[in-house]
A and B are shown apart, each in its own frame.
Chain A
């Protein structure tokens, strides 16, 4: 099953320019904390946290808590609903080939 939010959720989430800027900064780094995202953003840490929450609900970012910090990274598959059919199935079939390879290894070692 393809785990992704529907296209409306993804588009609504990214329609906000500030939130989109936050997402683009997460995409641009391997992993980034709320504190780092707030620095130089011109908005409060609370506002950044709210945007990250929306991005997480839309399946666009994933979080990893470590001690008192939470680190965020982009989920490329979250953008799948935005792609056209060809882009979607390009990703889909490559993933499935990897699954098939693993399954064959299991049933025919």
Chain B
């Protein structure tokens, strides 16, 4: 489906929750532009048709304009929706660095409603950078690592 998903050195974010609603209702929230805008962000050009390109505007960083470029990869109504999620710029590190990922939604009918499973796959972890890896574990830890990260980043060109 996507090269990034096959690389061994990438990681996924998985969020898996049961919602007390029918798959059809949740599908509507995942695939109607007006509704997406109310819980995620306002998409530009989204249509639940394979091949469609669309974008999200997020917070810019350095040379990156903050635009997330997406393309619908798979649509199985009421069951499965996948789209490419790309952004970032090579001049950035951490937030704003090159991002080539895939977002997949899987809906499964269960007794109490629908199991919603989000898999955001293809994260390339910064190598040899323990401080950054630790940051994934929560913001309290981030604070403890600030000294190292600030002194490391303070001298880089991305700041100027």
Contact = CB atoms under 8 A, between A and B. Distances in A.
Among A76, A79, A100, A108, max chain B CB count under 10 A is at A100
B97 interface: yes
B1 interface: no
A53 interface: no
B96 A108 contact: no
Interface string A22-42: 011001000000000000000
A90 interface: yes
Majority SS at the chain B contact face: mixed
Interface residues of A, number: 39
A94 interface: yes
Contacts of A100: 19, 26, 29, 39-40, 116
A81 B25 contact: no
Interface string B131-151: 011011101101100110110
A23 B143 CA distance: 9
A65 B150 CA distance: 30
Given A82-B142, A104-B21, 10 more contacts: A82-B95, A83-B94, A83-B139, A84-B95, A84-B132, A96-B40, A97-B15, A101-B17, A104-B19, A107-B35
